[in-house]
Structure 1
Amino acid sequence: MTTTKAHIYARISRDRTDGLNVAEQIVACENFIKNRGWELGETYSDNSISAMSGAVRPGFEKMLKDAEDSSDTVTFVVYWKQSRLERDPDDLDRFLLAGCEGYATDGTQANVKTASSELMTKMMSLYGRFEQRNKADFQKQANLRIAKAGTYRGSIRPFGQRKDGSWVEEEAEAVIEAAEKIIAGEWSFFRTSEVWNLRGLKTPQTGKQGGKQWTSGTVRNYFTRPRLYGYQDYKGTLYELKDWKPILTKEQFDAIQVKIDSKRTGFRTSNVTRHDVRLLTALIQCADCGRGMNAAQRGGPGSTRSYRCPSTKHVTIIAEPLEEAISEFSLHLLAQHAEVRNQQESTTRRLATVQGEKLSLTKEHEEWLDEAIEAGLKPSIIANKESKFEEEISKLDEEILTLQQDKTVSIFEGFKLEGWNASPIELRRDLLQTLYSGITISRVGQGKRFSPDVIDYKFTPLGERLRDEYLKHEMDALHPWENSDAI
């Protein structure tokens, strides 16, 4: 008498809401096979493969291929529950068409040996999806009740606050400081990420989630959360968080959204009227201590302007020659931009591609989110997926911002100093931040005249490309014979 050989299939996903893990499923299947007196065959498994991601299941695919290649008329497969085997009707059809016959440890079967067995197999599949949808409906109602009750829904506490809305003082104060400086135009999101990272402030951590350094993208996304002023968003509707201590006012939050929108579109909501005295404010740092230097002016209009370090007896420098030196050097770099840009893929084409990728990724995530809520996944699982989605979006946002900056740089191609000085100050400040990640100023020395040697530039990736091209042209001008054809 030939002994029946039965294989095992087990699956668990990151979005597990109930049931056994893979190892426990395998043990249950082994006991089922042993009690039937069958021979144990191969064990196939897929660990942490989400039912909602649509990702390929290597173990499942190998099992189907082995079944199709097998000389056996029927391939017997044991699994814990039918829901572990299939994620959609196609999975079940492929399983049956490959010549497989399934046995769940609860006694139910999946086969098409008779019309009745085929009907029962399909009914079990439909019932499993009915149960899933039914749980999802209850979960959606529960989530809505939680949102209406004003309870914070996140699995990880937000930066600056605890889950009950009380402040984590050091973080909350850092958020307030950053918000004020972002609104004033003194800090960018990149600068904010630098400051927070230098202070050792990381994203909140729960288990393996969070605890990472900030980027300009994650800072920007953080400042789009309405919980900052005491509300949370659920499916497009804002609900007030009860007993929640807001970090920002609604006016501050709205002002930052205007900044974010202006970065995306290049549109400014009002004309800039600030004087050039603030051209380099917070963009230059003191060589003695690294602190940002502020504008200063003694006396009335027409008096000498300067930039000085907030620390006593540190660097102070006259504004006009410093601004002129940095502006002229920047224009020299910008003069190389057309040539550098011509060596790269079209900025406009790449920008459209990345924006398309972001749109597609956002649409896929929204579809996943709807399915996840319908499936009744735990809020912690959804939050984990949203965290990864935000990281991916942040990377795309950073590239989009770089490409938009590249287009902004092209505005100044061919400009002279007069045209530069006549341009809006915000545009010039954005341009400087596009070229330089930092500018350090050293002391001029008492009684000595200003020299550009006191300026130490730290370049962004785009600034480095322009600098290299500029230095190459300077060397060509000094040694033209090195690049001339032999006579």
Structure 2
Amino acid sequence: MSTPKRPAAAPVRAAIYVRISSDRTGGGLGVERQEADCRDLAARLGWDVAAVYADNDVSAYSGAPRPGYLAMLDDVKAGRVQAVVAWHTDRLHRRTLELEEFVALAESHDLQVQTVRSGQVDLSTASGRMVARMLGAAAQHEVDHARERMKRAKVQAAKDGKYRGGKRPYGFERDGVTHREEEADVIRHATKAVLAGRSLRAVCRDLNAEGHLTSGGKEWGPILLRDVLLRARNAGLIAHGTANRAGFEVIGTAQWEPVVDEDSWRAVVSLLTNPKRRTNSTSSENRWLGSYLYRCGRCGAVMRADSTAGPGSNRPNQAKRVHYRCTAAAHLQITQERTDAYVREVVAERVRDPRVVAALTAAKDSDAATADHERRTALAARLAAFEDDYAAGHLTGAQLARATATVQAEVEQIDARLAARVSRSALAPVLSSNDPGKAFLDAPLDVQRAVLAAVLRVEVQPATKRGVWWSPERLTLTAVGE
């Protein structure tokens, strides 16, 4: 009689965690190589890879949240994974506080930990935990030493404010300090144009038509122009990183003279890094006055331009028609041509009113603006203090992230208010002309859209009379700020 076979034990469900602090190319090749090595190790151990958690271009000691790491911890707590595979222990932690949190979680959930380079990390025994803490202490020392070097370098850079070499920056001579005036004028013009509501693509089109080339002798494109306008050096500042990426920080005043004032530069940064900014060059927003500015009178959603089919083989005499439609539901539309013509005339008359012009061109250095500047300086000091507390071990990564997020939210609100003031002042070419109404009507579409957004809120109401699809009564026009 044969002995019945015992059922095979279910394979261990493992999580692979990969991380790289700085992905300079943006290709994610570092984490891909780590994942391949970790998969090989899991296969040798006979473990099933249940999930891969990646944090690309995220430091383990910067204080920035690690979404992949946090998701992995949640799955460990939920019992979805029973083991963790990493390339090295320092991919998981580089701070002792986070290590202790991980050790406690591993003990409570019998978590197995294996690494490609450091071998098994047995957190179930006192000796294994001691080894893990020794590795963690070494990583913490490396982190602290690196932070000291970085802080000294930042302080020195802020003190010196010197050009640190590299490719000739657009707007400056090869010494990186002296303005190349023709190019500096392009930066000033483009800054004002973008703040006045012009799209990057439209500004590039004008620059190329006028024969202005980049420092590399090429024509302008929207991405390149955006990168040039976001540079802190334009405002005479030294910065670490770039304004449209995580980790950006202004660290001091440069030795060269600013090309644009700091308020204008910050306003451009706020505008061009806004995640709500629409960048689709084929969007109807770029071709029609009211797209995403007009509002639906039924539900309050924005409206967009939508066209009906033009002439075809079966309808040779049908003209192409454009309507504004509610983006939330198919319950409201209005013809584009007559609506835009009417709104343009109303806006032209409004900007001829000296009181409206005075409100839109109020001095930037008002009491409110001064208070915002002072508050922003105080908040920047608080953010620096949080980092010092984190480096000293007084705050965990989670505490630093929460405190930073709260303060950063207020900073963003202040930047938005300052940007709005500067943007209003950038409308001056229209508002300061002898006839602002005519200047508005003659302006490019993107400038008209900016003026409209600054002075008038347009709400489209449903038709009230059968057969009457357009009338001025369908438009509720309200002055901005009322």
User: TM-score scaled by structure 2?
Assistant: 0.46
- TM-score, with structure 1 as normaliser: 0.46
Between Structure 1 and Structure 2, the one with more helix by share is 1
Larger Cα Rg: Structure 1 or Structure 2?
Answer: 1
